[in-house]
């Protein structure tokens, strides 16, 4: 049992702080503590379908028909984002804390993996189909970027409840210590590849910058270190209607001195290599050219130094309105900062069947899926289920993108979230 607990503790990834307060199903005033394990993953794009993405991620064959079908869906500016996160947390609400009533504190450990990519139509085609289709033309790679970050967090903070018997407020503030595991950032300002119509030569020009964390394999080395601020506030009326505002993960990581940060503005003219003896290709080609040296020349630098990066931060505002004891509606707007993410709007209808079961149906729009909030996009539909097993054990599971699994060829979003809570009275 201890081994299972340890595996869950270190493998499950970190969900946004204070989520327990926003989705406080079955939580009553007499709860003294909440222990929680949660997991969440979300893949989103404004052009790449779930079918194509899953085929690629699982290493299955992508035939020419599926490639062409995907190419036709590409836009001038394309976007892909992924978040895999989860963790384990403990919230305590003792009768008194530090000599004060209505005070509490929390601790949480988790790990998060974040990716966001912007890419041109041509760079996608080049990656999956080579440069043959660009013969006599220039493939445009400009305004493309990549940001991949893997980090762990240890969070601590305090909570306080105040107000009257009719109107209540909750305020929480926490500090996160961030341990960076890995980071890669590539920003291509302008770039293009011209292919001669007879395939006799290619011309590449590129203006780009790269940030890369320490690539050493020593697991004991702290590759990045930083801190983040988390703030939560909610206001609840006598009728249990609640306004919530939260700011999470506003902070930084300073990557160590073995990291790299450099910029290059270069052009390459390549005409291939001469083969004098077709029976001795090894000696003619590979004896004179080293692919590793070419990669190192344009993607690495001899100098190493530290660099700072801002964390993928989030602001979320939500309002919960109770139509009755069994039906309530929650409208939320979420905005992530320092990543390619537009406001995400979620409208959720919650139906309480009985003391054991709560069902939620939602519709959402935005996020990684749109290049701007006014871009015409299909709405996404989701389901959520919360079950009270009794004795304070609660399961919450769902997805904001059920339609992504029902129509994988046309929908460009998928995700699942799971939370197991234990309430102590």
| Mean pLDDT per 10-residue segment, the chain (425 residues) | 36 39 68 92 93 93 89 92 94 72 88 95 93 93 96 94 88 96 95 92 93 82 94 94 96 95 88 57 49 56 85 96 95 94 94 95 88 64 96 95 93 95 92
| Backbone torsions φ then ψ of 404, nearest 5 degrees | -70, -30
Q: What's the pLDDT score for residue 374?
A: 54
Q: How many helices (H) and strands (E) does the chain have?
A: 8, 20
Distances (CA, A) of 239 to 177, 242, 246, 322, 344: 38, 9, 22, 7, 27
Q: What's the pLDDT score for residue 335?
A: 95
Q: What's the pLDDT score for residue 400?
A: 95
DSSP letter for 135, please. B
Q: What's the pLDDT score for residue 109?
A: 95
- The model's pTM is 0.85
Q: What's the pLDDT score for residue 98?
A: 59
Q: What's the pLDDT score for residue 272?
A: 66
Cβ atoms 361, 379 nearer than 8 A = no
Cβ atoms 66, 13 nearer than 8 A = no
Which of 222, 183, 181, 189 is closest to 205 using CA atoms? 189
| Domains along the chain with CATH numbers | 2-424 (2.40.160)
Q: Where would I find the beta strands (DSSP E) of 1-102?
A: 33-45, 77-92, 96-97, 100-101
Which of 297, 408, 393, 369 is closest to 34 using CA atoms? 393
Q: Which two tokens stand for residue 337?
A: 């900062």
The DSSP bridge partners found for residue 320 are: 242, 330
Q: What's the pLDDT score for residue 99?
A: 60
Q: What's the pLDDT score for residue 65?
A: 87
Q: What's the pLDDT score for residue 290?
A: 52
Q: What's the pLDDT score for residue 93?
A: 83
Q: What's the pLDDT score for residue 12?
A: 34
On the 0-12 / 13-18 / 19+ scale of CB atoms within 10 A, 314 is buried
Burial 39-73 (b: 16+ CB within 10 A, else e): bbbbbbbbbbbbbbbebeeeeeeeeeebeeebeeb
Cβ atoms 15, 38 nearer than 8 A = yes
Distance of CA 277 to the CA centre of its chain: 51
Q: What's the pLDDT score for residue 4?
A: 35
Q: Please state, as a whole number, how many other Cβ atoms lie within 10 Å of the Cβ of residue 122.
A: 23
């Amino acid at each position: 049992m201890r081994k299972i607990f340890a595996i869950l503790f270190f493998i499950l990834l970190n969900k946004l702080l204070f989520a327990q307060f926003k989705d406080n199903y079955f939580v009553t005033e007499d709860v003294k503590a909440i222990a929680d394990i949660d997991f969440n993953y979300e893949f989103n794009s404004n052009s790449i379908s779930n079918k194509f993405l899953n085929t690629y991620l699982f290493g299955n064959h992508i035939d020419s028909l599926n490639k062409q079908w995907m190419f036709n869906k590409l836009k001038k500016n394309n976007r892909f984002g992924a978040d895999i996160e989860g963790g384990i947390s403990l919230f305590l609400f003792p009768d008194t804390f530090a000599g004060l009533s209505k005070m509490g504190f929390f601790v949480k450990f988790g790990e998060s993996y974040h990716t966001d990519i912007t890419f041109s139509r041509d760079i996608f085609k080049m990656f999956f189909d080579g440069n043959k289709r660009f013969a006599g033309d220039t493939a445009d790679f400009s305004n493309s970027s990549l940001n991949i970050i893997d980090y762990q967090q240890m969070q601590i903070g305090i909570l306080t409840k105040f107000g009257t018997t009719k109107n209540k407020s909750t305020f929480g503030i926490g500090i996160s210590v961030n341990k960076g595991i890995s980071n890669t950032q590539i920003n291509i300002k302008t770039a293009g590849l011209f292919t001669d119509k007879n395939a006799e030569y290619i011309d590449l020009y590129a203006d780009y910058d790269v940030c890369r964390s320490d690539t050493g394999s020593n697991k004991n080395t702290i590759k990045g270190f930083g801190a983040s601020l988390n703030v939560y506030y909610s206001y609840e009326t006598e009728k249990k209607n609640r306004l919530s505002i939260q700011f999470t993960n506003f902070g930084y990581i300073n990557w160590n001195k073995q990291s790299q940060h450099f910029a290059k503005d270069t052009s390459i003219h390549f005409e291939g290599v001469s083969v004098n003896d077709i029976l001795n290709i090894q000696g003619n080609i590979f004896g004179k050219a080293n692919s590793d040296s070419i990669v190192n020349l344009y993607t690495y630098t001899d100098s190493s130094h530290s660099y700072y990066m801002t964390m993928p931060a989030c602001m979320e505002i939500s309002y919960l309105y109770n139509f009755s004891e069994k039906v309530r509606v929650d409208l939320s707007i979420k905005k992530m900062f320092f990543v390619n993410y537009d406001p995400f709007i979620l409208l959720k209808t919650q139906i309480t069947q009985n003391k054991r079961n709560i069902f939620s149906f939602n519709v959402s729009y935005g996020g990684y899926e749109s290049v701007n909030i006014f871009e015409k996009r299909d709405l996404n539909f989701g389901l959520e289920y919360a079950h009270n097993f009794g004795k304070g054990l609660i399961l919450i599971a769902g997805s904001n993108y059920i339609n992504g699994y029902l129509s994988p060829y046309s929908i460009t979003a998928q995700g699942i979230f799971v939370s197991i809570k234990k309430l102590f009275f």
